[in-house]
Amino acid sequence: MKMYNILRQYSAIVGVLFFVVVLSVVCTYRWSTQTVAAQNNVQLKIKGLTLSPLRTELDIAPGTSLDGVLTVTNSTKKPMTVSMNAEVFSVINQQYDYAFTEESNVVKWVTFNRPEVSLTAGKSEKVMYTIGVPLSAEPGGRYISLFASTDTGLSEGGVESRQRIASLLYITVTGDVSRDGHLVSLTSPWAVFSDKSNWSVALQNTGTTHFRSRYSAKVQDLFGGKVANMTGDTLILPGTVRAVSDKLPLPQWLGIYKVVYTIGLGDTPAAVKTRFMLFMPLWTIYVTIAAVIILILWLRRKRLNKH
């Protein structure tokens, strides 16, 4: 009878733990499904005018010009008239939210062969543009957004709406330019208890033109053995600090690991930083909780038997 009671208590505990695990899995699945559905809805809403390429990096010498091509597409079922114009862009915070302005002499560097394009439903057209850099232009970075825009009609509130989409030009006027990067901060999790985690850095560019920071995060065991790794890259504009966040590659098993970060800093040597991380996935937490509960019940039963 005593053995029966103990087994019944253990079965109830295991049942509760199993229910918690199943509930967590179901909630995670439903959240993922809802997220995908929301993303699909967003994609459906933004169909209309499209433009490619979305970003181009160019090196142009003073006193010379360079030609480029944009592809403008009408993905609706109605004809549209598309207007082309250029604006200078900059960033206003570390998250790189953009600000645009037409009041700049750099905008005059850009000319379009067709400032206005008529597109029938579902058709695409090529638009040529030329960037002419004055001979007096100082070396360094210039940042121009090529906009394609069209009227979309009246919204529900009766206000006329307009759709704009941009192709960003990252131009380096060649000459004596610098790409001086600095690592401002690095944030790495010291403990991870789920199957997803992020790390982040803040990067500063004190040079005169942009550079592409290539970075990697390598997870190693305490003996230096490779466990997991990831790579990525991002553009850093001159005179700015950019906050960059990316997914941390995770191991499969519980343990303490080293994470070695290598951060590219343009002309400055890459920064290499090492952090330690405790990885404890959810299944190990459930097992630990079950073991603790079973141990407590066993000790309690043992104590009652003594009395």
The per-residue pLDDT for range 267-301, each reduced to its tens digit, is 999 999 999 999 987 666 677 787 788 888 888 88
**pLDDT value, residue 156:** 57
Q: Are 172 and 238 in contact (CB under 8 A)?
A: no
Q: How distant, in Å, are the alpha carbons of 51, 69, 70, 122 from that of 114?
A: 15, 11, 11, 19
pLDDT at 26 over 50: no
Q: Rounded distance, CA 278 to CA 221, Å? A: 11
**pLDDT value, residue 307:** 64
Provide the 3-class DSSP secondary structure of residue 34.
Answer: helix
Q: Are 242 and 203 in contact (CB under 8 A)?
A: yes
Residue whose structure tokens are 């009395």 = 307
178 alpha carbon, distance to own chain's centre: 26
Residue whose structure tokens are 């890459």 = 270
Structural domains of the chain in order of their starting residue, each with its CATH number: 2-26+38-43+288-306 (no CATH), 47-173 (2.60.40.10), 179-284 (2.60.40.10)
pTM for the full predicted model: 0.76
**The pair of three-digit structure tokens given for residue 104, joined into one six-digit string:** 């700049």
Average pLDDT over every residue of 218-230: 95
**pLDDT value, residue 290:** 79
pLDDT at 209 over 70: yes
Contacts of the segment 4-10: beta carbons below 8 A, 24+ positions apart: 6/297, 6/301, 9/297, 10/294, 10/297
pLDDT at 150 over 70: yes
